[in-house]
A and B are shown apart, each in its own frame.
Chain A
Amino acid sequence: MVDSMYIHIPFCNRICTYCDFNKVLIDNQPVDAYVDALIKEMRQIEPMTLRTIFVGGGTPTALSEAQLEKLLLEIDSRFTVTEEFSFEANPDELTMAKLDLLHNHGVNRISLGVQTFNDELLKVLGRSHGYDDIFRAISHLEEIGLTNYSIDLMYNLPGETMDDIKDSLKYISELKPKHISWYSLIIEPHTVFYNRIQKGQMKVDDDEAEGEKYMYIMGELAKLGYPQYEISNFSEKEYESAHNKTYWKNDEYFGLGAGSHGYVGGKRYYNTKPVNHYIRAIEENGSAVKETVELTLNEQMEEEMFLGLRMNRGVDMRRFEEKYGRSLDSVYGDVIDDEKGKGNLMEKDGFISLTKAGRLVGNSVFIGFLN
């Protein structure tokens, strides 16, 4: 039973220097037509009760109030969300008016794109918001009573120092958000950062310094009452992101919007990326699916592992056996023993999980599960 949904809003008021997600500058884009297309795509799915919805981007808050309202009304009328209805928001775009709209239509969690509290670094990242915007957005959230919000941060930024990380930790201790996502910057091709690095105009720390920062962040957040529950995610108890855990538990979800990925009926699919192509495909066929791949049992099991091990609790051995009809040990016993020997994996209470050392080099552990 699919009970999660991701909705993609591919528009931004400004393009960040590190971002390689499917997004376009909103100026002169057919945003209304896009919202209409999203609604039409949504209508292909029977009205139902969903556990989670996540609206991401791009920047969902780049939509106008009218566009947001139109979208939210449709969601509201078709789906009942039982657990988590999450919206990504940029601090400078989260006006009281927009926040009101979200709140009134059942959005119960905000994922706030803070990235860093250092104004200089925000400029390097090409963000549209500044230090003050962060605090204004958070005061709006508190005013309206939407206290389940996540502060989304990045580290290993060009020119970043340990002091920047310490500053972020200080603000976290003061603001007391429920949830923190703290991603390390990845230099992706087709980004401004990538070009700068290629040309030698910019440098980021090597993986050793990155590792030190990562260990520091894990330790300090735990002290502040935010234990880690996934490679890059930390939260107060009871406030783990239900939607993102859908991915890590290898459960299924719908993907709506340009370039969205979905996983339904053992098949992974994705929609066409360009906004115009997406709109046309939906108008003509009601679907914009570009490619569908049916996973083999083997691939499903591989993904169960490399996604599940991202979570601190790890992979549920009993659930694995129920899902795939084979015991975890019979499929991956050798790899698991090998990684246990290296001190990267451990077994506890029916779960296989990464050790602290293993978490630092998760990829080298994950590839052992690939055929």
Chain B
Amino acid sequence: MNDQERIERQEKIRNFSIIAHIDHGKSTLADRILENTQSVASREMKSQLLDSMDLERERGITIKLNAVQLKYTAKDGEDYIFHLIDTPGHVDFTYEVSRSLAACEGAVLVVDAAQGIEAQTLANVYLALDNDLELIPVINKIDLPAADPERIAQEVEDVVGLPKEDAIKASAKANIGIEEILESVVETVPAPAGDPSAPLKALIFDSIFDPYRGVISSIRIMEGTVRAGDKIRMMATGKEFEVAEVGINTPKPMAVEELTVGDVGFLTAAIKTVGDSRVGDTITLAANPAATPLKGYKKMNPMVFCGMFPIDSNKYNDLREALEKLELNDSSLEYEPETSQALGFGFRTGFLGLLHMEIVQERIEREFGIELIATAPSVIYDVHMTDGSKEVVDNPSQMPDPQKVDRIEEPYVKATIMVPSDYVGSVMELCQRKRGNFVTMDYLDDIRVNIIYEIPLSEIVFDFFDQLKSNTKGYASFDYELIGYKESRLVKMDILLNNEKVDALSFIVHRDFAYERGKLIVEKLKTLIPRQQFEVPVQAAIGQKIIARTNIKSMGKNVLSKCYGGDISRKRKLLEKQKEGKKKMKSVGNVEIPQEAFLAVLKMDEE
């Protein structure tokens, strides 16, 4: 291609994402768009085509980003090149959404025709507007009996400010309105700006590690052109590499001759670590570098921490390797070695949120075959000492001696909860119970209310979302953002098993709730820790003071009495099953503790 051809081609490129609340039909719409363009034949279709991890398909969510190139022949007879960039739909992954959006000029805003705008969608709409994206409102699932597209279109106008006449009524499932959406992408989303002959500026919006090809960087070309053999430079790190391959996803990866302005594709250059191809960095050519990098992103810091320990202590190094590998694809994951008296050597690991934490734990167990004990998640506390110094504590067991503490501050979030008005009472009650401060409440329309509270992040971390769902029959949607630190009257609660303090079970609690929580936790632990050969006292203590106590009775009979004729293999199988169960437990002193016990503190409000 020469520059003239590149500029003509650039005119025909449309880069967009789909913004939707979980379950509002983003993946189905993406599948439908893929089918209705020249990308994948229907026979190759697997539902949720863009979600490539097993976990993503199972949980019906998107975790990692994906971008796919499509060809579309519009009604005007012209052929267009679409890049559809997938976005995760969960609150934990806001950061990744912002990365996707930075690679686009437009976004399709999908809203469920019955449920309307949800808190999370709204958060992403604001992100899109911050990135100057053109929005195409789509009211989805109009074929469902409960659909009320007119009301929802009005809601979109009222809440987001997009004229209701512009909203496309669609059903991705029934293939209604898809062509209108595609035409609207052509008309509404601007072609990318940029000069193909200028020095290269390519935004890295994702990086994954592939054991055979090294780091595969997902890039969006803002200026210039890049091809295999080019010598490139990472503008933040200054590191230089030779490009091995550039390509696009169709959704299968396909090498192409070059990527130029407006293209969204991938690049490999025998890069050994993701750290050398940082998300948000700008790639330029070593021979003809750009003067300034692109704006990039601000790094998102983990908000939730937990200790992760291998049940088999010999697997410490395996766990380190697993974390190293995951970190290659997950720049928001942080970890450092941690030693627990109870659990031995492990890692204090930071996450964007609870879902992120669960997913990482699950991947370590599944993909790396390491059985884990994870401690209950904690937030980061600012502890101001009497001597005027400040300590940052992300591990309850490290909380300094109260005698030396002047005050403790904890992170607060602004929680935005959207809910049908019938549930306002129960939402407020829940927020109150979670130490929330009411900020404001307004009616979005006749039915839906937007409630805003300031709540300690630690309360959000402790099963807030599950409780919110169950208290509102699943109707509430929820989003939060960190607003800063506030002083709280917090204390550390220690747990003693068999009269030994188990550091990994310590947690931080507000003084006013301490007694109640202490009682709840010992009872909960009693149900979660299997009976041992001896009676095990379970105690909750603040400092030296025991505030709650119960006993786990000793084990009764546990020996197979039957002979089973000469069927020894059956006996063996039974024993092997018991052994498997035991393997999932961590031995602390003489007490075998299962994973669930370490998360007991999360489950206290269940009953």
Contacts and interface: CB of A to CB of B under 8 A. Distances in A.
B579 A247 contact: no
A299 B572 CA distance: 10
A355 B565 CA distance: 25
Interface in A333-371: 342, 344, 357, 359-364, 366-367, 370
B565 A21 contact: yes
A206 B572 CA distance: 23
B553 interface: yes
Contacts of B566: 6, 247, 253, 255, 260-263
B556 interface: yes
A261 B533 CA distance: 34
B559 A361 contact: yes
A247 B568 contact: yes
Contacts, number: 107
A177 to B, nearest CB: 18
A361 B565 contact: no
B571 A306 contact: yes
Interface centre among A247, A293, A367 (most CB of B within 10 A): A367
Interface residues of B, number: 25
Interface string B556-571: 1111111101111101
Contacts of B575: 306, 363, 366-367, 370
Contact of B561 (A183, A255, A260, A344): A183
B568 A186 contact: no
A207 B556 contact: yes
Interface in B323-363: none
Interface residues of A, number: 46
Contact of A363 (B558, B562, B565, B569): B558
B2 interface: no
A268 B569 contact: yes
Contacts of B559: 231, 359-363
A211 B556 CA distance: 5
Contacts of A211: 555-557
Contacts of B557: 184, 207-208, 210-211, 214, 360-361
A303 B573 CA distance: 12
B562 A232 contact: yes
Interface string A24-61: 00000000000000000000000000000000100000
A218 B556 CA distance: 15
B562 A183 contact: yes
Contacts of A244: 563
Nearest to B580: A367
Interface in B548-606: 553, 555-563, 565-569, 571-572, 574-576, 578-579, 582, 590
B533 A364 contact: yes
Interface string A256-279: 000011110000101000000000
A120 B357 CA distance: 55
Contacts of B563: 181, 183, 232, 244, 247
A364 to B, nearest CB: 6
Contacts of A184: 557, 561
6 contacts: A206-B556, A208-B553, A208-B557, A232-B562, A247-B563, A306-B572
Interface of A: 6, 8, 21, 56, 181, 183-184, 186, 206-212, 214, 231-232, 244, 247, 253, 255, 260-263, 268, 270, 293, 299, 302-303, 306-307, 342, 344, 357, 359-364, 366-367, 370
